[in-house]
Structure 1
Amino acid sequence: MLLAFVAGGRHAQRIALGALALWLVIAFAIALQVQRGGAPLAYLIGGWQPPLGMALRADGLSAAMLLTGAVVLLAVALFGRAPYATPRGAQETRAAYAYWCFLPALAASLAAAFLGGDLFNLFVALEMLTFTALALACLDGKPSQFKSELRYLLFALIGSVLYLLGAGLLYGAHGTLDIALLAGRTRADAPTLVAGALMTAGLIAKMALFPLHLWLPPAHAGAPAAASALLSGLVVKGAFVLLLRLWFWVLPAPVVLNGGTLLAALGAAAILIGSVVALRQERLKLLVAYSTVAQMGYLFLMFPLLAAGDAETASRAWLGGVLQAVSHALAKAAMFLGAGLIAASLGHDRVAALGGAARVMPITVIAFAMGGLSLMGLPPSGGFGAKWLLLRASVETGQWWWSLVILSGGLLTGGYVYRIVAAALAPPAPGCEARPVPRAQELCVLALALASILLGLVPLKDLGLVRVGAP
């Protein structure tokens, strides 16, 4: 990021693309090493052992999310080559300069959030994520962007304050914030309960879980397509990974057993209400944004399933939840990039007037539909594998009501995906002319959508990476 900041212009683009390509190679190497070794990797910064020092830890969860983040970020960076390029001899624009500087910053923030082993340093990583995402969301500099992103900033800062208060309570009660050390020290006492409640509230505010989702749809409505893809696909996943670490590594078992149902209830409300509101939207980006609110709810259904099942069922629920996070990141990034291309081609994103889009950009519409299939949970997509595992776990633990929520959410998702595809396949309205978009951008969208589908074809035994170091 610093090199891109100093170099500027076309050099910043080359530096960012090279760094993100290298990050993908490193993330793949880490995932391969974790899977082959069957145990998490650990690195002591400066050689100091916790609690005096800090440790970076790569287990199956962090390795899978790191690899997912590298894939999505590189695809978004390649997508941005057309709108944020600096041609030879042209003057550099502020938006292009910020874009290529903040993409590596977002990568660093995600790496810190996925690999961190200390609750305070994970707080720092979340702050880095917030401010890099905020800068990318305001690239165009429009007043409407500042208004919606200010709401995002206020929610994020309130969440940070709550999280930091809880971290302070944990430190005062146990003398450390290292996750591995806290795992054997916490008890169901008052400081731990209050700390867990504060930190959980702060994290779900950053994740936009219902009913703390009010910042997310306006933030997407005014943000560029690339920023929306990163915000929905990756940024909220940083808080989700930290929430998993807090609940299943730090908090005592009675808290997890009793509180998991409450989080799942909020997730179920997010699925149903978010999907119904998405069905009623007249703007494409707002529809996809409310879809994010709904899809995030599936991640919370794993909490009571993990707590109530035997080892095999809990392992299945864990794999389903993490697979849902990965498949959602790929599919939703593809859908937001596709929505941006459709809006750029037609000059608007009104759902009722999308006619003709499929004729001008069939690749984009097909990729959008493929992402929607993954969100619906239809085979052979990654979303199907995730939802099937959660369905089985809910039945096996006797919590069949969560399976009804999953099935209902899939039907509602099919409703709003059908609205978009049907409108795009309709003939164009009189006087409406769609402009062609760069083929390279369409291929980036297609690659992400294909990845979300092909993820479902990977045999479950080959997804053992996710189980390495699982709680």
Structure 2
Amino acid sequence: MIPLLLIIPLVFALLSVLLPRLPIKAIAIPGLVLQLIASIQLSVHTYKHGASDYALGSWEAPLGIALHANGFTVTLLTLTAFIAIVCAVYALIYLKRYEHEQRYFWPLFWFLLASLNGIWLSGDLFNLYVGLELLTFSAVGMVALTANKASLQAAIRYLFAALLGSLGYLAGVALLYGQYGTLSIQEIALISTSDAPTQVALALMTVGLLMKTAIFPLHYWLPPAHGGALAPVSALLSALVVKASFYILAVLWLQLAPDAISPAAAQVLGALGAGAILWGSWCAFRQPDIKMLVAYSTVAQLGYLMFVFPLSIGTSAAAAELAWQGTVLHLLAHAFAKAAMFLSVGTLVLAIGHQGIKDLAGVSHRVPLALFSFGLSAVSLMGLPPSGGFNAKWLLLQSALSSGQWWWFIFILGGGLLTAAYVFRVFSVSFIEEARHKFAPTHWLLDVSALTLAAAAILLGFVSQWPLTLMELVPGVQS
């Protein structure tokens, strides 16, 4: 299944380019079903037999390209396949009014999935770089699909930020190769030291990846890119794309060279996460545009991912395990909830023809399912029970108390309250009975798509033990 997860999206990307007259759903749905089946089968195999490796063309590392599947990566593969198929169903309906954009959306969509799968499965640092670059060009192209002034400006800003981040990452890769003579993550993890070249390399790679993940204060490119893109594009970017660079950052800090990372450096990343929660929430609260509100919410929610570093480095094994579990659940819950939120907002905007929050008056009566999906997503983002977001924040709170770092407790708890503040801005308007605009009818599949992902964010709270059982709880400790 490992090579198939790269072959399937690339084959269907070529089909979507070479056979433009073939009905899109005849290409998209079969391909996505195949990818989901392959991801599930690989997850079952990993659950039964443990981690596995695959050498492309039977060329072993370091000469060949090594792919590696473990509990964490197969969970991300399944998450990607599931969110992709739901967003694709949404896009099939949503993009009917965008005939020109639809032609280019699907090839970029498939290349985006191939890039993500390659990143999740890559076993060496250079192939991670290749995956990041392919992911960047696919995502930038999707942001620029509408080709208006705002989207082109957002795409160019995104491209420059991503390329600058790539330069930092690639410089670090070169330093590590010069120091250890290999780019294999597993091999470097066995021989890495805390010398100056290793620390400089990790510093360069960290800054580059923080920019790609849009962590405060390097987040300036994200709101216009996510807020100005088409709804299914925004959902994919927020749910999956920004998680790829965080995944690499977590591998570097917690698996590749943990001895080269000082607790003080981990506290700095935690501080950036706290800043992201405060600044992102404040900006979301002040936005008059509902899509920009959701985009700045992404900036805030990504901040929670940074707490894994101060709560895992220089602390007890129990606190580190709780931190990793909470971070993984937050990654999953945020992916479901934020994709659902962007899709539901896309439906609301289609119905009223405007993106202003003040224009949402009356949507509770005219577009109730879309608003309900938005509310379910918000429950998880706020960290309310019984959602997956609640379990994630609960584990992070326990880790903060267990490690004696009470200051992170304040930010984790306060972040949920700040989320409630900007979410209730939407509901305070949506239940006003007097609508300001006429409502256009929307397709029922748009509502079902958003509701499916929102329900997944809630359901995760009931089955949180399933992904935690499958995943490596502490990278670098279990294999």
The alignment's TM-score, normalised by the length of structure 2, stands at 0.94
Deviation, 1:254, is 4.2
Q: Which of 260, 266, 269 pairs up with 2:275?
A: 269
Aligned pairs for 1:99-114 (under 5 A) are 99-114=105-120
Aligned pairs for 1:285-296 (under 5 A) are 285-296=291-302
Distance 2:184 2:427 in 1: 48
**Count of aligned pairs between the two proteins:** 464
Q: Which of 407, 414, 421 pairs up with 2:413?
A: 407
SS of the aligned residue for 2:23 comes to helix
Determine if the alignment matches structure 1 residue 82 to structure 2 residue 93.
yes
Deviation, 1:156, is 0.4
Determine if the alignment matches structure 1 residue 424 to structure 2 residue 445.
no
Deviation, 1:459, is 4.8
CA contact (8 A) 1:9 1:97 kept: no
Distance 1:136 1:438 in 2: 23
Distance 1:309 1:41 in 2: 30
Higher relative contact order (CA 8 A, sep 6+): 1
SS of the aligned residue for 2:94 comes to coil
Distance 1:344 1:367 in 2: 15
Partner residue, 1:71: 82
* Greater mean deviation of Cα atoms: 433-442 or 393-402: 433-442
Letter in 1 for 2:40: F
Distance 1:313 1:466 in 2: 17
- Where does the alignment leave 5 or more consecutive residues of structure 1 unmatched? 87-91
Partner residue, 2:368: 362
Deviation, 1:333, is 0.4
CA contact (8 A) 1:375 1:410 kept: yes
Partner residue, 1:300: 306
CA contact (8 A) 1:356 1:426 kept: yes
* Greater mean deviation of Cα atoms: 437-446 or 51-60: 51-60
Structure 1 461/309 Cα, relative in aligned 2: closer, same or farther at 3 Å?
A: farther
Q: Which of 40, 51, 54 pairs up with 1:43?
A: 54
Aligned pairs for 1:314-393 (under 5 A) are 314-393=320-399
Deviation, 1:353, is 2.0
Letter in 2 for 1:438: H
CA contact (8 A) 1:27 1:63 kept: yes
Structure 1 437/117 Cα, relative in aligned 2: closer, same or farther at 3 Å?
A: same
SS of the aligned residue for 2:92 comes to coil
Aligned pairs for 1:7-46 (under 5 A) are 7-37=19-49, 39-46=50-57
CA contact (8 A) 1:45 1:53 kept: yes
- Where does the alignment leave 5 or more consecutive residues of structure 2 unmatched? 1-12
Partner residue, 1:56: 67
Determine if the alignment matches structure 1 residue 436 to structure 2 residue 441.
yes
Letter in 2 for 1:439: W
Determine if the alignment matches structure 1 residue 142 to structure 2 residue 148.
yes
Deviation, 1:18, is 1.4
Q: Which of 152, 158, 161 pairs up with 2:164?
A: 158
Distance 2:449 2:287 in 1: 26
Deviation, 1:393, is 0.5
Deviation, 1:210, is 0.2
Moved over 4 A (4+): none
Deviation, 1:383, is 0.4
Letter in 1 for 2:359: A
* Deviation per residue, 1:164-196 (Å, 9 max, x gap): 111111111111111001101221111111110
The alignment's TM-score, normalised by the length of structure 1, stands at 0.96
SS of the aligned residue for 1:57 comes to strand
Distance 1:36 1:274 in 2: 41
CA contact (8 A) 1:210 1:293 kept: yes
CA contact (8 A) 1:148 1:222 kept: yes
SS of the aligned residue for 1:212 comes to coil
Distance 2:227 2:328 in 1: 27
Distance 1:85 1:125 in 2: 30
Deviation, 1:9, is 3.1
Deviation, 1:250, is 1.3
Distance 2:66 2:218 in 1: 32
* Greater mean deviation of Cα atoms: 373-382 or 415-424: 415-424
Distance 1:277 1:470 in 2: 34
Identity of aligned pairs, percent?
A: 42
* Deviation per residue, 1:70-94 (Å, 9 max, x gap): 11111110001113349xxxxx933
Distance 2:36 2:185 in 1: 26
Determine if the alignment matches structure 1 residue 181 to structure 2 residue 192.
no
Letter in 1 for 2:449: C
* Deviation per residue, 1:90-127 (Å, 9 max, x gap): xx933111112222111111100111011011000011
Distance 2:293 2:48 in 1: 41
CA contact (8 A) 1:35 1:468 kept: no
Distance 1:441 1:461 in 2: 29
CA contact (8 A) 2:75 2:467 kept: no
CA contact (8 A) 1:216 1:289 kept: yes
Deviation, 1:17, is 2.0
* Greater mean deviation of Cα atoms: 402-411 or 131-140: 131-140
Determine if the alignment matches structure 1 residue 451 to structure 2 residue 469.
no
Aligned pairs for 1:453-468 (under 5 A) are 453-460=458-465, 463-467=468-472
SS of the aligned residue for 2:386 comes to coil
Partner residue, 1:89: none
Q: CA RMSD in A?
A: 1.5
CA contact (8 A) 2:119 2:244 kept: yes
Deviation, 1:468, is 6.0
